[in-house]
Amino acid sequence: MSSSNETAFRLGLYRTMLVIRVVEERLAKSHQRGMIPGACHTYVGQEAVATGVCAHLRDKDAIFSTHRGHGHALAKGMHPRELMAELYGRETGCSRGRGGSMHLFAPEIGMLGTSGIVGPCILQATGAGYSFKLMKQDHVGVAFFGDGAVNNGAFHEGLNMASIWKLPVLFVCENNQFATEVPFESVAGNPSIAARGAAYGMHSVVVDGNDVVAVAAAAEEAAGRARSGGGPTLLECKTYRTRPHSEGMGDFTYRTREDVEHWKALCPIKRFREQLLSEGSASASELDAVEKEVIDLTEAAHQFAEASPYPSPDSATRHVYAPARASALREGSVQSTKPRELTFMKATLEALSEEMARQPEIFVLGEGIGVRGGNFATTSGLFAKYGPERLRDTPICERGFVGLACGAAMSGTRPVVDFMFADFVLDAAGEIINQIAKIQYMSSGRLEMPVLLRGCIGIGHAAATHHSGSYYSMYANFPGLRVVVPSNPRDAKGLLKTALTCGDPVLFLEHRELMGTKGDVPEEEYYIGFGEASVVREGTHVTVVALALMVHKTLAAIELLKAEGISVELIDPRTVAPLDSETILKSVAKTGRLLIVDEAFGPFGVGAEIAARIADSGFDELDAPIRRLNGKPSPTPYSPPLEAAVVPSIEMIVGAIRDLCAE
Amino acid sequence: MEEGTFLEWLKQSGDSIKEGEPLFTLESDKAAQEVESTDSGILHIPDNGPRAGTVVKVGAVLGYLLAEGEAPPVEAGEVKPETAPANVRDEVPQNSVAVGVPARFSSEGAATISAPASPRARRAALAGGIDLSAVTPTGSSGRIRERDVLAAQMERDRSGVKWVDVPTSATRRLIAERLERSVSQTVPVTITGRCDATGLVCLRNQLKAVEAVPVPSFNDMIIKITAGALHAHPKITGRWAGSSIQFPEAVHIGFTVETEEDLVVPVLRDVASLRLSDVARRSKELIESARSRRISSSEIRDGCFTVTSLGSFGVDAFTPVIQFPETAILGVGAISREAVSLPDGSIVSREQLTLSLTFDHRAIDGATAARFLQTLRKRLESPTVWLFND
Ligand SMILES: Cc1ncc(C[n+]2csc(CCOP(=O)(O)OP(=O)(O)O)c2C)c(N)n1
Ligand SMILES: [Mg+2]
């Protein structure tokens, strides 16, 4: 760098730190005046870290942060007015009023988001690193987090994955010595954070976090290493926040005024100004001019934000899902000339294989999905074709790799998480529910979340309680998720194809007892849209809604009931979210009777939802109460007679239909 | 009452019940009542006993009162909404007493309860014009389902014609009311008798031949002769007033006139004081004003007796309805030539007429009425004497 460039660079650092400081102080004032309806965590005292790290980042580099993210957003290039408008809850805010202080999104400049949850940003940056490596881009993923996050599983799982796959990631820990009011020493077995990075075989550096030049230098080296394939770096930046944890909170129960005054004296901005002056890089009047410009900029931003309109209430639920993509090859439009018999599993393998060939951004994460080809042969043969980067065997860290998938989806790839059994992924529930499901909305539709989460569900094979749960009702409860529960090979393939081409996160839940079952699958390519129930059997006396294995059991029951002259219409919703209640209603309008057969638990389940919707929109169609037949609400027992007792049997279905018809 | 809606048990299976204790509630005639036990014992409610809302017939077995240590019946059979199966009673153990819907409810008149109906059934009932209280639920829930309504609708459609609503006129409704009152407030009895009308026919032919103005109708002649007969048998005009019978001072006779829309009964006042020609003239006027709807209320008032004729339609005998509050009415049949056997055995062709007399049996005995009818017949057989002797 030439010396004039160097001077400009240093003045830039100075200005950025000032922007953060002045904006934060203005926000603190606004908070005090009640202009910020929610929380406000300022970055005062830590400006050198965001400024130093972002100094060497480009727009395409992706940063992720936590609750204390204003400084990161500004340092990455967000205009102060977008930040302020967001905190004031305005339409012009960076998240269009959906987020506030803890949910800042500006994907246009590589600010992929901050989170109100401590930890996930570490996994998301790891996922961005995975995307960049897979797509052979020389961008880096950066996670900013506090000392509080290093005791969280996300830190350990993320650092380990980044290290083993040499991902281009910077883990920037801002050790400000407290997590809210808890001193780091009191919760750290080994108070050296850098040492934890070393434990995962990672370059780890301790930096004076109040020295912007030192931070910038360390970040430059780390970013360079990452871009050139040298893998991740952990930067432990020792710093201190000089305002309370959050505006309005008391500050002196856990630290003293003297402590705070001591650190104020070490203010990174004051320190850098003195340095610039003593080096002769800039004159006092030059620096004063910068300061004046920043104050004016901030004031103008505040005025802009204050004058901005609030978002329209009728936009409140916009952007929960990605815009629908219409496929030309819809199920109905495909006439199969040569239907073949395939197993359920082979049909899904075909779908995955076709889409992987078409979309180089698809990669699969899971345990034993590489060379082995998956516990249920879900990826059989793909490793040989696509190699380890696209068929990634993971450590057993479900939360970690689901969080990684989240960050990957945010940064341009399409992860498929193959978690074998749905039970395992509960360890990642937070990543799915709090992050994956919410990011499209929180980013006001500027990020899509094409994540496929697949695994098997269902009772059978004496699998006992940790290999048999059906969790679709739970997932369907959360806006932002698509939940698919196919019952046959044809549907499974068509639905998986849609899952692999849509912009939404999809839970693709495959019943274990169906994986080996066979059925006709068209040779031609086809897609089955979500929210399109299938009428499996037409009938007139009673409507039965069933999913997955229960579709087959109900079909057997229908055969038995034929002799009694009972005619059953069987509907398979195929997707629980979205749920096609229209088709069910149409059927109930014909039959007047509705039974929902569901292997999963009754309380608060999909049957309850269907019943409520039909009772609401189809009240006058009903000739009898809506009935549900569910699995017993208990953990799944192991012993075969016990296991059988908790699942609806063909006999029970026959009885339930018969009783309902006799009502 | 024949059935009621079972609401709830007031005791539980296994409870020891004393005679007179309330046992269950039953809804009948829009009121719920507690039904008391008429026996003592240990209550046994079978699994398939009635549920809330089940419609149960009088006499249906709902449960059992068992003696100490006595086993409940093996298979009690279902409490069917329609009838209690006969075999249920057969299976009642020796000492036990069936707890059922007591027969004393059966004296309370027809039940109008309707069982609960599904929303779909209610919609179907509305669409099909079916009264839900007349629909029998046949399902296990005791609820009326769509199929029950459709069955009722099919039954109705099969058993009758499709009904088309044509609104009635106010006059028609008045007539209907009057007729209804007549049959509900009198004790009507009808007797018939035949008479020889050859004389009547000859007389009328003669009057026609001499171009009498106007020529009296058979009705006019019969009315005039009836007035005389009523004079001879005043009881026929006596009105039942409970503690007394009221007699009119003058006998006004009504006669039925069919108009385009309905039936009008103009009244000829004090017929005894009128000559046949007056009767003929007056009746002609009244008929005309009745048909042209100009008749005044005073012209249809105060009748003591009515003569009605269906003769022009070839009807012989019928059961006319008393013009309440009158006491009797005479129905005049058709006059037709018939072969008649004379006392000497010869068979001749004569004009014959059948008279039907309906009277309020409360005020008039059968013999009294028969005697009047006999007088009337005799007089009609010698009309000249009774028409022109005053
Ligand atoms: C998973 C989770 N647990 C608890 C919280 C509540 N919380 C918000 S900030 C915070 C302290 C975080 O400390 P640190 O990571 O050191 O960041 P700092 O606030 O010091 O910047 C806590 C506990 C949270 N947001 N997420
Ligand atoms: Mg901290």
- Is A492 within the bounds of a domain? yes
Is the minimum CB–CB distance between B194 and chain A shorter than 8 Å? no
* Residues A381 and A359 placed together within one structural domain of the fold: yes
Angle at A235 between CA A233 and CA A238, to 5 degrees: 175
Mean pLDDT for A559-585 is 97
Choose which residue among A43, A67, A117 to substitute to test ligand 1 binding: the one with the highest number of ligand atoms within 8 A of its C-beta: A67
Q: What is the pLDDT at residue B196?
A: 94
What is the CATH classification number for the domain harbouring B11?
2.40.50.100
| pLDDT score, position B37 | 80
Is B281 found in the same domain as B139? no
In tens, the pLDDT along B116-145 reads 999 999 999 999 999 999 899 999 989 999
Q: Using the mean position of ligand 1's atoms as its centre, give its distance from the Cα of residue A366 in Å.
A: 29
Nearest-CA distance from A157 to chain B in Å? 57
CA distances from B17 to A484, A569, B14, B95 (A): 58, 49, 9, 15
Tokens of B387: 């028409």
Does residue A408 sit in the same domain as residue A553?
Answer: no
Ramachandran assignment for A354, one of left (phi > 0), alpha (psi -120 to 50 degrees), beta (any other): alpha
Considering A485, A520, A555, which residue would you say is the last residue of a domain? A520
Residues A447-482: tens digit of each pLDDT: 999 999 999 999 999 999 999 999 999 999 999 999
Average confidence score pLDDT of chain B: 84
The verdict on residue A317 lying in a domain is no
Task: Give the CATH number of the domain where residue B351 resides.
Answer: 3.30.559.10
Per-residue pLDDT of chain B (390 residues; tens, 9 = 90+): 567 778 888 888 888 888 878 888 877 665 667 777 878 888 888 887 888 778 787 777 788 888 888 887 765 444 444 443 333 333 434 455 555 554 333 333 334 567 899 999 999 999 999 999 989 999 998 999 999 999 999 988 887 666 676 778 777 787 888 889 999 999 999 999 999 999 999 999 999 999 888 899 999 999 999 999 999 999 999 988 888 989 999 999 999 998 877 788 999 999 999 999 999 999 999 999 988 888 888 898 899 999 999 998 999 999 999 998 899 999 999 999 999 998 899 999 999 999 999 999 999 999 999 999 999 999 999 999 888 865
What is the average pLDDT score of chain A?
A: 96
- Could you give the angle at which helices A212-227 and A3-32 cross, rounded to 10 degrees? 110
Q: Are A541 and A566 spatial neighbours (Cβ–Cβ below 8 Å)?
A: yes
Residue B352 lies in a domain: yes
Residue pairs between chains A and B whose CB atoms are closer than 8 Å:
34
Please indicate, yes or no, if residue B176 is contained in any of the structural domains. Answer: no
Q: Return the H-helix or E-strand segment holding B352.
A: strand B347-360
Q: How far is the CA of A659 from the centre of ligand 1 (A)?
A: 55
| Same domain membership, residue A630 and residue A502 | no
The string of pLDDT tens digits covering residues A378-392 is: 999 999 999 999 999
A322: nearest Cα among A444, A142, A148, A239: A444
Cα B251 from chain centre: 29
In terms of Cα–Cα distance, which of A612, A569, A561, A558 is closest to A592? A569
Q: What is the pLDDT of residue A227?
A: 98
In a domain, residue B179? The reply is no
Cβ-contact B73, B63 below 8 angstroms: no
B8: CB partners within 8 A, 6+ apart? B24, B25, B52
pTM over 0.80: no
DSSP label of B63: E
What residues does ligand 1 touch, defined as CB less than 6 Å away? Answer: A 67-68, 116-119, 145-149, 176, 178-180, 245
To the nearest whole angstrom, how far is the Cα of B28 from the nearest Cα of chain A? 23
Contact assignment for B145 to A662 by CB distance below 8 Å: no
Candidates B264, B261, B265, B282; CA nearest to B273 is B282
Tell me the pLDDT tens digit for each residue of A6-47: 999 999 999 999 999 999 999 999 999 999 999 999 999 999
- Residue B120 and residue A592: Cβ atoms within 8 Å? yes
- Cβ distance B380 to B204 under 8 Å? no
Q: Please report the pLDDT score of residue B261 as a whole number.
A: 72
The pairing of strands A182-183 and A178-179 is: antiparallel
Question: Cβ contact (<8 Å) for B118 and A592?
Answer: yes
| Same-domain pairing of A62 and A11 | yes
**What is the domain extent for residue A21?**
3-308
Secondary structure of residue A172 in the 3-state scheme: strand
A230 and A336 inside one domain? no
pLDDT at B25: 81
Does B149 share its domain with B193?
no
Active site members of A: 467
The residue among B70 and A611 whose pLDDT is bigger is A611
Residue written as tokens 């799944």? A636
Is A589 near chain B, with CB under 8 Å?
Answer: no
- pLDDT given for residue B191 in this prediction: 96
Assess whether B10 and B45 both reside in one domain.
yes
Q: What is the mean pLDDT of residues A534-563?
A: 97
User: Percentage of chain A surpassing pLDDT 90?
Assistant: 96
d(CA A114, CA A537): 49
Cis amide linkage into residue A120, ω under 30° from 0: no
Chain A, residues 598-637, CB within 8 A of chain B, namely 619-624
Residues 6 or more apart from B211 whose CB is under 8 A from it? none
DSSP B179-197: HHHHHHHS-EEEEEEEEE-
Residue A316 placed within a domain: no
CATH of the domain at A553: 3.40.50.920
Predicted confidence at residue B301, as pLDDT, reads 87
A566 Cβ neighbours under 8 A, 6+ residues apart: A541, A542, A657, A658, A661
Q: Within this chain, do residues B120 and B193 fall inside the same structural domain, yes or no? A: no
Asked, for residue A644, whether it belongs to a domain, the answer is yes
- What pLDDT, on the 0 to 100 scale, is given for residue B107? 32
Whether B153 and B240 share a structural domain = no
Clarify whether residues A365 and A419 are in a common domain.
yes
| Distance from the Cα of residue B370 to its chain's centroid | 24
Give the span between the Cα atoms of A343 and A345, in whole angstroms.
5
Question: Cα separation of A547 and A573, whole Å?
Answer: 7
**What is residue B244's three-state secondary structure?**
coil
Cα atoms found within 13 Å of the Cα of residue A376, Cβ hemisphere only: 26
Residues 6+ apart with CB under 8 A from A545: A570, A571, A572, A573, A584, A594, A595, A596, A597, A607, A610
Number of domains present in the structure of chain B: 3
Chain B residues in contact with A619 (beta carbon < 8 A): 119
What is the number of domains present in chain A? 3
Question: Could you read off the pLDDT of A266-322 as tens digits, one per residue?
Answer: 999 999 999 999 999 999 999 999 999 999 999 999 999 999 999 999 999 999 999
Query: Does one domain contain both B151 and B188?
Result: no
Is residue A360 in a domain? yes
Which of B50, B66, B82 represents a domain boundary (last residue)? Answer: B66
Are B137 and B259 contained in the same domain? no
Residues B216 and B149 placed together within one structural domain of the fold: no
pLDDT, average across residues A226-236: 98
**Interior angle at CA B7, CA B5 and CA B10, nearest 5:** 135
Tokens representing A643 are 């296991």
Is B244 found in the same domain as B128? no
Shortest Cα distance from A663 to chain B (angstroms)? 5
Which CATH number covers residue A470?
3.40.50.970
CATH at B154: 4.10.320.10
Q: In which domain, by residue range, is B141 found? A: 111-158
**pLDDT recorded at residue B91:** 40
pLDDT of res. A327: 66
Q: What pLDDT does residue A200 have? A: 96
Judge contact between A103 and A96, C-beta under 8 A. Answer: no
Q: What is this model's ipTM?
A: 0.77
pLDDT (0 to 100) of residue B19: 81
- Which letter does DSSP use for residue B79 in this model? -
Q: Are residues B286 and B248 in the same domain?
A: yes
B212/B355 same-domain check: yes
Same domain for B133 and B57, yes or no, is: no
Residues 272-331 of chain A with CB under 8 A from chain B are none
- Chosen domain end from B42, B66, B90: B66
Contact A493, A347 (CB under 8 A): yes
Per-residue pLDDT at A332: 66
| Burial class of residue B169 in the structure, from the number of CB atoms within 10 Å of its CB (0-12 exposed, 13-18 middle, 19+ buried) | exposed
Tell me if the bond preceding B325 is cis, omega within 30° of 0: yes
Same domain for A572 and A547: yes
Which residues, at least 6 apart from B379, have a Cβ–Cβ distance to it below 8 Å? B225, B228, B229, B385, B386
Determine the angle formed by the axes of helices A344-358 and A382-390, rounding to 10 degrees.
60
Are residues A134 and A98 located together in one domain of the fold?
Answer: yes
pLDDT of A84 over the 90 cut: yes
Q: Is residue B230 part of a domain?
A: yes
Both A266 and A331 in one domain: the answer is no
- Supply φ then ψ for residue A234, to 5 degrees: -105, 120
